[in-house]
Chain A
Amino acid sequence: MSSNGRGSRKLIEDVIGAGLCTGCGACVTGCPYMVAYEGRIVVLDKCTVEDGDCYKHCPRTQTDMNAVSEKVLGVPYGAEEVGHALKIHMARSTDDQIKQKAQDGGTVTTLLALALDEGIIDAVVCTRMDEDKVPHGYLARSRDELLQCAGSSYEASFALEAYRKIPHESTDKLAVVGLGCETEALAKMKTDLPINSVNPDHVQLTVGLFCGWALRSNTFHPFLRGLCDPSQAVKFDIPHTPHYTFDVYTSSETKSLSLDEIRPYINPACQYCWDMTAEFSDISVGSAGSKFPGWNTVIIRTGTGAKLVELAEKKGIMETQPLPEWRLSHLKTVALNRKRTAFKNITEKTGDKNDLLYVGGLSEGVIDKLRED
């Protein structure tokens, strides 16, 4: 799956300059010429490499979905609305400390802390908000550090830039937590190994997060600063329908904004994203919805994911319960709508109903099912 002679210049032309950059951070993992800064990719100098990792691994350049799916999930890419799944249920942590910091059920923090504890992994590539609640890629090596990463910023955080902090010769076993675009980038890295970054085969575990869209730090934060002192915020939340708000919790109060107020700060690249449930992960986690406060929906996609969840249950640090049929049905509907909207936006952008931009390697049957007729 070669990039056909493309490097950073092509990346800037095809993705960053074309309004497709999702803010995943894959391009900056091994690159001294580009950095993620204040919610954007900044190009510091010109690189002349013609066959660059940046272009190969970007989730918005041509992706052979089948090849990637085979590599990461062991199956061809299908038409399932929520992606390939072995099991789907609900889960939550039993650990009070984790539950206090968690967005919903604390599942991600619990599973990763367990994996660290058991020596399954040595470090986690994830996201951490700084004092002013701007998220950055972060490398967590302990439960305490993981706790600092709990909670959603709802922003594109360039999580994969944390990969940079790992020395090339490191043999650390890694886990990666990311949104759909980030896990897709990682899956592309596994399929077409980077030339000079840490070997992604070291990544033992990928945890994906459900995502509808992400805000851009560079535009959202000036707006946020007008509302409150971001350093006082303790949690952000977008409760599911029928709510239509973006909630900012500080230690003293809760500010509830209409989602319409937030829309100008959404990354326009998100309108081309079809992967709401982070399909290229071992486990995908999201909120279970307003009927199940404090619970996560968990999609187990691989044996690795299944084993870890089993272990967590066995150790009593996590409890699970079945996901009601209506809830699953709702999830599938929303996910399918996401795909169809994305395909519509993509073909509008390309002006050609057969040019799906970065989405490639799909069979006709799959495309038809996913596309709105």
Chain B
Amino acid sequence: MASIAMDKPGATALLMGNEAVARGAIEAGIGVAAAYPGSPTSEVLPTIAGAAEEMNIHAEWSSNEKVATEVAAAASFAGIRSLSIMKQNGANVAADFIVNVNMTGIGEAGMVIFISDDPGGMTSNNEEDSRTITKWLDNPLMEASSAQEAKDMVKWAYEVSEAVNLVVFVRGVTRLSYTKGNVILGELPEKREKKAYFPAIWDMYNPVKSKFTSGPFPVFHKPLHEKLEKARAIFETSTFNRYMGPENPELLIITCGACTSYSTEAVEALDVGHRIGILKLGTTWPLPEKLVGKYLTSTKKVFFVEEMDPFVERSVMELAASMLPETSELAFYGKRSGHLTPYNEQSTDLVIEALRDILGLSYQPRDLNYEKEAEEAVKLVPHRPINMCAGCPHRATFWAIKNAIKLDGRNGFTCGDIGCYSMAFAGPGFFQARTMHAMGSGAGVANGFGNLKQFGFDQPVLAVTGDSTFYHAVLPALVNGVYNKSNFTLLILDNSATAMTGFQPHPGTGELATGEPAPVVDMEALCRSVGAEVRVCDPFDLEDTTKTLLEMMRKESGARVIIMRRMCELVRAKRKIPRPYTMHVDPGKCLGDSCGCDRLCTRILGCPGLMWDSEAGKAAIDEALCVGCGLCADICPVGAIIREEVS
């Protein structure tokens, strides 16, 4: 039995935020969960999938977030509670559907979307505050501040969703998703009695009841706003909104989400709990205005502690403006005043610094000598840039791309995309990716470059995509490239994995989220059927791959494809396929850093399996990290790296 579905109400489990979300949805009795992998949310779906059979849940990895929300909505239309999960970028992808399902309303059963943002962009390609999407699309929003709250909020969100007939967003951030906390488990749901059924209403006189939108749209827009006001009324009395502190605080902190901890810790560290009140909001859109308004009139200073956009700050200031002249004496601190920045994560230290400034406090967090020593000690930590794994086929692919582009000599370039191969913008991929935006944008932007011949453009254009990204968003771009005859070459880096996010299955890997077998999409056939010329290369055959790249780059035709097919090294390891070679360096042959080599293997190829012995002045194999892929032997100009087949 999957532990996430354990039948022990009242028991305490140590759960990651993501796991708590899964538990909350399971306790709410969902029947469908759909998502696309994206850090920091990737654990939610597989956790649910682990209990899918026993809890009778359809848990699927969808090809993208738009499809995932559509899948979840259909379940709601048919009376089944559903959950969709995504990172901040997924919200962008799903937005067009959500705006429309807000017009029709969801079904009888609630639908919740869990979004987790990534302040600081630690595992993202951008930094974005998704909360405004709920304001933009007109959906209720809750922000969890602990694992327990994540579970409880998700569960309650279904009640709210059904009460107002809208998709409800529960939002977290990386710190929430990945921090583990004690969670008191609730009851598991009753077995579902009703069968799924879609009433498929068509009522000429009451179109609002249908699930298709039809004009005139203000007829649908007005009820949407009314639903939102209903949600606001529910939020006014929610226990997720809490106040801690004196009745008339000198300063009121209004905070939400992960910043709740930073605020409480800062107040404690400065020992100003008697002067500062903390209003922690769990429901941040629509703003519970009566509640907040009450606290606004209890103080003279308001300090907003939230990450990224001044989302709460703005709605509260809007409220304060509407309460004039009662609020005319209030001083506001936050993003507008510059006390906190709208970028990056916040932290207890940053909040302490801001409070020191606002209240004129002095505070020495630690001994000055210790501080100096700590800063010196940091310099001892070796610099560790990002890198691809030892044996990564992308390293070979980008080596071939780098050389082919140079040999071709027409200033060609590669449009990058999202995945492990994103690292191609830096050293690991030899700085080959020269544009990089959203999922699938590599092929999209390449399409654009490939159209510019009439303006004298003569540079060969390459685009890279992973296999999962291909099914996610690149297919339409490929179709566009063939149809509009755009001159570029699409490289599909097929390593049999959605690797960067944690090896989730996808339409090409033959497995479902639950581990059951799935049909495999024939990638070559798919590309050919679209009308593209397709070649398949093994990136570890550098000569053939470079030659094929040169040939394809020199064509003048519509979009064409090279599938770089080689299993991800970690997939090989997981499947216990034996390593192909054992490697060693012959120090007698190795030229080290002298003319004729200049450390080509350790300085440029940069595989973690290679190391530089600075005492001996020679390269060596790091036997702990080398996986025996053999690539370096082909790079060494003097054949000093020996590869031996493993018998």
Interface residues, chain A, with chain B CB atoms under 8 Å away: 7, 30-33, 35, 37-38, 40, 42-45, 47-49, 51-54, 168, 194-197, 218
Contact = CB atoms under 8 A, between A and B. Distances in A.
Given A42-B406, A42-B409, A44-B403, A32 B595 contact: no
Contact of A196 (B402, B403, B595, B600): B595
A7 B595 contact: yes
A110 B486 CA distance: 55
A52 B594 CA distance: 9
B120 to A, nearest CB: 32
The size bracket of the interface on B is 10 to 19
Nearest 3 Cβ contacts at the A-B interface: A196-B596, A32-B637, A30-B596
A373 to B, nearest CB: 42
A7 B407 CA distance: 21
B641 to A, nearest CB: 13
Given A32-B600, A32-B637, A168-B638, A49 B594 contact: yes
Contacts of B402: 44-45
Given A44-B403, A196-B591, A31 B596 contact: yes
Nearest to A43: B406
A40 B409 contact: yes
A37 B547 CA distance: 13
Nearest to A48: B598
Contacts of B589: 168
10 contacts: A31-B637, A42-B409, A44-B407, A45-B402, A48-B598, A52-B595, A194-B596, A196-B595, A196-B596, A196-B597
Given A168-B638, A196-B591, A53 B409 contact: no
Contacts of A40: 409
B406 A53 contact: no
B233 to A, nearest CB: 65
B564 to A, nearest CB: 19
A44 B595 contact: no
B604 interface: yes
Contact of A37 (B407, B591, B603, B604): B407
A7 B594 CA distance: 11
Given A54-B595, A168-B638, 7 more contacts: A33-B600, A42-B407, A44-B403, A44-B406, A45-B604, A194-B596, A195-B595
Contacts of B406: 42-44
Interface of B: 402-403, 406-407, 409, 430, 589, 591, 593-598, 600, 603-604, 637-638
A31 B591 CA distance: 11
A318 B413 CA distance: 55
A40 to B, nearest CB: 7
A47 B598 contact: yes
Contact of B595 (A43, A51, A168, A218): A51
Given A44-B402, A45-B604, A168-B638, A195 B409 contact: no
Nearest to B594: A195
A278 B604 CA distance: 39
A123 to B, nearest CB: 19
Contacts of B597: 32, 196
A12 to B, nearest CB: 13
- Interface centre among B409, B593, B596, by most chain A C-beta atoms within 10 angstroms, is B596
A32 B596 contact: yes
B447 to A, nearest CB: 28
A179 B156 CA distance: 85
A196 B594 contact: yes
A4 to B, nearest CB: 15
A42 B402 CA distance: 12
B638 to A, nearest CB: 7
Contacts of A7: 595
Given A44-B402, A44-B403, A30 B409 contact: no
A40 B409 CA distance: 9
A47 B603 CA distance: 10
A51 B595 CA distance: 8
A134 to B, nearest CB: 14
A132 to B, nearest CB: 15
